[in-house]
């Protein structure tokens, strides 16, 4: 059942105690609830998050699944071939399964970002582009001839979204050739056309493409919320910690899959006299 069907457009006065701890930071205290604050025509859910709970309208929220492709999350993919630890991809995939099931059940939009290059690499950038020198796939295909045409190339196995998280009918797929999903893509236009303001980010890598896209979202007046257990990072763990710290303190919010699911499952109280 969608959020709209469960929560008719009427004004509810809801009893909700949002306790973020003595410092005013952190998740809700155990035993408290994340109930809705509902305005006329809207359903605002209090999503348990750091540094404080954040109110979102689920009818104006999308899950942005960043680059959950074989390249970054599967044995034999680009990250694995480069010697990057991908062990964190398995729990991230499981968290995404649960997150996406709940989002689709509630009628929330789901958008997949997919890192992609044309076979001739014409969209990868020439020698005047920093992408030519810094993006891992471009570098590996140049330095290892046996990999040419195989990493992140449209239609290749490496490019494909992992089998466990294949898009469902109605999901949007946005092709990108830079770290940020907003760079030379139709992502912003798609979100604006649907009145979406709140973005729940999952995927890989926490510290690269998730970070780049969520930062751009913040600068475009979207509300970026990182679902930390539904992401995996590259490199040392301090990369993950740094990204989460930045979003918790300066750029957005950090939550977890179970907290999103709990918020979406909340039912409104009986209407109270105004």
Q: Which of 57, 158, 209, 216 is catalytic?
A: 209
In degrees to the nearest 10, what's the CA dihedral of 174, 258, 98, 110? -20
Q: Which of 67, 158, 216, 229 is catalytic?
A: 67
Q: Which of 57, 158, 176, 216 is catalytic?
A: 176
| Active-site residue, 52 included | no
Are the C-beta atoms of 225 and 198 separated by less than 8 Å? yes
Are the C-beta atoms of 260 and 225 separated by less than 8 Å? no
What span, in angstroms and rounded, lies between the C-alpha atoms of 232 and 151?
19
Instruction: From 40, 37, 16, select the one nearest 28 (Cα to Cα).
Output: 16
| Active-site residue, 67 included | yes
What span, in angstroms and rounded, lies between the C-alpha atoms of 234 and 23?
31
What span, in angstroms and rounded, lies between the C-alpha atoms of 260 and 199?
12
CB atoms within 10 A of CB 51: 17
| Active-site residue, 123 included | no
The C-alpha R_g of the chain, in whole angstroms, comes to 20
What end-to-end distance do the CA atoms of the chain give, in Å?
A: 28
The catalytic residue positions are 67, 176, 209
């Amino acid at each position: 059942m969608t959020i709209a069907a469960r929560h008719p457009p009427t004004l509810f006065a809801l009893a909700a105690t949002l306790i973020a701890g003595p410092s005013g930071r952190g998740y809700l205290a155990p035993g408290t609830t994340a109930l809705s604050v509902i305005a006329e025509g809207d359903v605002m859910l209090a999503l348990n998050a750091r540094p404080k709970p954040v109110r979102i309208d689920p009818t104006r929220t999308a899950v942005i699944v960043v680059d959950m492709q074989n390249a970054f999350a599967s044995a034999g993919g680009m990250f694995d071939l480069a010697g990057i630890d991908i062990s964190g991809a398995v729990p991230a995939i499981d968290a995404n399964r649960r997150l996406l099931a709940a989002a689709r059940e509630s009628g929330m939009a789901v958008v997949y970002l997919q890192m992609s290059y044309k076979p001739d690499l014409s969209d990868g950038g020439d020698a005047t582009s920093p992408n030519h020198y810094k993006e891992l796939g471009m570098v590996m295909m140049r330095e290892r001839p046996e990999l040419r045409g195989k990493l992140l190339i449209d239609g290749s196995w490496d490019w494909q979204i992992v089998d466990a998280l294949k898009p469902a009918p109605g999901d949007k797929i946005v092709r990108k050739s830079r770290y940020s999903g907003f760079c030379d893509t139709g992502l912003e236009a798609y979100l604006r056309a649907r009145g979406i303001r709140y973005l729940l980010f999952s995927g890989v890598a926490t510290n690269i493409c998730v970070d780049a896209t969520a930062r751009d979202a913040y600068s475009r007046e979207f509300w970026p919320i990182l679902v930390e257990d539904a992401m995996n990072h590259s490199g040392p763990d301090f990369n993950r910690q740094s990204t989460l710290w930045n979003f918790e303190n300066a750029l957005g919010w950090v939550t977890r899959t179970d907290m999103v699911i709990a918020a979406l499952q909340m039912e409104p109280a009986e209407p109270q006299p105004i």
